[in-house]
Amino acid sequence: MTTYIALTIGPIYKTFQNVRKTREVWAASYLFSYILRKIIEELLNNSIKHESFIVPYIDTDIFPRKKDRVVFDEDIAKGTGLFPDRCIIESGTGDYNKVENAVENVLKDIEVLIGGASFDYVKEYFRFCFIEKELPEAANVIEEMFRHLDTLELQNKTLSPANANNNDLFNFFRSINKHPFFKKFALNQDINKHNRFESVVEISTKELQGGTGLSKKNYKDLVNEFLWNANKDDDIDSDQKFIEALKESLPDQFKPYHKYIAIIKADGDKIGAAIKSMNGEIKALQAFSKSLYDWAIDTDKKVRSYGGVPIYIGGDDVLLFAPVAMGAKTVVDLIEDIDKSFELTVGKHKFIPKGSEIETAATLSYGISISYYKFPLSESINKVEELLKEAKNYSDERNSVCIRVLKHSGSELKSTITKKRDGAFQYLKEILDRLNDEKLNKEKSFLNSVMYKLRDNESILEIIGNKQERVENFIDNNFDDYNREFDKCNGNGKYLHTVKKLTPYAFNEADILINHSEPDEKKRRKSVTEQALNNIYSTLRISRFIKGIEDDK
């Protein structure tokens, strides 16, 4: 038998419900990561060894000894919340008291950090649940200890009347750009090279920051006029005026998607099954934790290289803000890069799930919310959580993406697609690549005609939609640009080749997903056709939007 301590911190959901700006989201998220990091430091400096930690992964490179104390290396993924909200350590005699003392000391640090808040308020607001349990050697340590934490988290904690209306914590979040905490821990700089978390419109228009000459000067001047008052060292937040002036100053470069921000949330699939397959072997669990850590560090680099802003990458969870496009690259390329990194790190831990004979590995599912800059940020973050759940529930294999564009007009484009090999995600990427053709990019009438032709022939597609040869005949008969020999096609014809592959795939996938227990086969076929066409139509329109072809009406 071995004894373990598990700890969780909160209230994360409640805190996120009350943040309104990008800087506040970062501050709220990073603070929780910072709290767990400080607890780990306290424990390491109180005789608990690095190798005692099972979750999260830590070692002497991450928490080296500097002079007389063990501290976190501040240069690792600076500004990104790397530490999740849970921790498990193998414990010995007296370690439970060490955890209690560590929590108390960190709460005192937070009191000083926030400034003005009483210790009573800090102790009431932040929730720490921890438990010590003895488990048999073959126990699934992570699953068992997390199950106990889940139970503890069900216990509601409310603020006393004296602290119910205290806003000190949220005032701290709101003023984070001017706080020493930000300057010390955040990597973020604006176009003026000031340590400052950029606003929604600065992130959404980041593609335009990379211009040279007049365009870059224009962009910088507009930031300083409408978003940042250098004299007062404060945010102005005149987003609408900034967008209008930017569009007027850079008419040839400004695209409809520059008024939209992409919020991306990812979560691991089959992580529990992967952990269960390790049969409680501590070294294997720690190796798995290290792979998650390695992936987090690499993902941080990839997101920043693209032009995005990572908020947290802890455990198997990711939350980030990103511009819709950066030159030829788009958010779709970004999640593919994140996926490849996951496959090379976490994905190398192969296992055979219970009841199966096929070896598999953990994957990632994504929610992507592309929202108009005026849409409330807290609602967009809530929405991306819903989109992620839809992606994870889309098929038994999970490994999916649910992407939604909420337009300025209130209309919505949404598509849920799988990332499995030769799946709809690959066709989405292929369509985006086709739209890089400058001539095709300008032919809105042709692109519109493809969608209209599919919609107008719904009854025919209901019969032939799942048969590629018959779909090809349909495309060949309806579009002059199509040539059955791909190499002889112009840009329009190559685009149609991808539509030809996407269409039967969407119909066959819908046929699998739509309930086969429906007694009325005609009714069921109608549902299959409707879902398939909706996914095709949404995929084509989302692709156009991402490439700046579709307007935001």
Contact 388, 367 (CB under 8 A): yes
Question: Which range is least confidently modeled, 51-65, 160-174, 250-264?
Answer: 160-174
Confidence at residue 396, expressed as pLDDT on a 0 to 100 scale: 79
* Amino acid residing at 510: A
- For residue 508 the two structure tokens come to 């066959």
CA angle in degrees (0–180, nearest 5) for 30-34-40? 150
At 504, is the secondary structure helix, strand, or coil?
helix
pLDDT for 495-531, tens place per residue? 999 999 999 999 998 888 777 666 778 888 888 899 8
Residue 69's beta-bridge partner residues? 66
Mapping DSSP onto H, E and C, the string for 15-78 reads: HHCCCCCHHHHHHHHHHHHHHHHHHHHHHHCCCCCHHHEEECCCCCCCCCEECCEECCCCCCCC
Which tokens sit at 233?
């060292």
Rounded Cα distance between 243 and 255, Å, is 11
Residue 33 pLDDT greater than 70, yes or no: yes
Amino acid residing at 65? R
Give every CB contact of residue 131 below 8 A, 6+ residues apart in sequence. Answer: 5, 6, 145, 148, 149, 152
pLDDT, tens digit, 9 for 90 and up, residues 208-228: 987 655 576 788 888 888 887
Query: Percent of the chain having pLDDT more than 90?
Result: 62
For the chain, list the domains and their CATH numbers.
2-172 (3.30.70.2220), 189-258 (no CATH), 432-553 (no CATH)
Average pLDDT, the chain: 90
* pLDDT tens per residue across span 298-349: 999 999 999 999 999 988 999 999 999 999 899 999 999 999 999 999 999 9
Helix, strand or coil, per DSSP, at residue 260 = strand
What is the pTM assigned to this prediction? 0.93
Q: Quickly count: other Cβ atoms within 10 Å of residue 184's Cβ.
A: 10
Which pLDDT belongs to residue 211?
65
Q: Of the candidates 546, 266, 270, 515, which has an alpha carbon nearest to the alpha carbon of residue 384?
A: 266
* Predicted pLDDT at 178: 85
Quick one: pLDDT at residue 516? 64
Across the range 276-290, mean pLDDT stands at 92
State the pLDDT at residue 517.
64
Local confidence band at 184 (pLDDT 50, 70, 90 cut-offs) = confident
User: pLDDT tens digits for 112-147?
Assistant: 998 877 899 999 999 999 999 999 988 889 999 999
pLDDT mean over 34-40: 96
Q: Note the pLDDT of residue 210.
A: 73
> Residues 168, 320, 388, CA angle at the centre, nearest 5°?
105
Which tops the pLDDT comparison, 157 or 251?
Answer: 251
Instruction: Indicate whether 262 pLDDT > 70.
Output: yes
Instruction: Tell whether the model's pLDDT for residue 243 goes beyond 80.
Output: yes
Burial string for 326-341 (b: 16+ CB within 10 Å, else e) reads beebbbbbbbbbbbeb
What does the alpha-carbon distance between residue 81 and residue 484 come to, in Å, rounded to a whole number? 51
Whether 231 has a pLDDT exceeding 60, the answer reads no
Q: Which two tokens stand for residue 208?
A: 């335009």
The reported pLDDT for the residue numbered 388 is 97
Contacts for 283-290: CB closer than 8 Å, 24+ residues apart:
285/54, 285/55, 285/141, 285/142, 286/51, 286/53, 286/54, 286/57, 287/349, 288/346, 288/349, 289/54, 289/55, 289/56, 289/57, 290/57, 290/59
pLDDT for residue 465 is more than 70:
yes
Which secondary structure element, helix H or strand E, spans residue 496, and what is its range? Answer: helix 491-513
Start-to-end CA distance of the chain, whole Å, equals 63
Q: Residue 296: in which H helix or E strand, if any?
A: helix 282-306
Question: What integer pLDDT is reported at residue 219 of this predicted model?
Answer: 85
The DSSP annotation for 191-245 comes to: TT--B----HHHHHTHHHHT--THHHHHHHHHHHHHTEETTTTEE---HHHHHHH
DSSP codes joined into one string, 432-461:
HHHTTSHHHHH-HHHHHHHHHHHHHTHHHH
Is 14 within 8 Å of 372 (Cβ atoms)? no
- Beta strands 2-10 and 86-90: pairing type? antiparallel
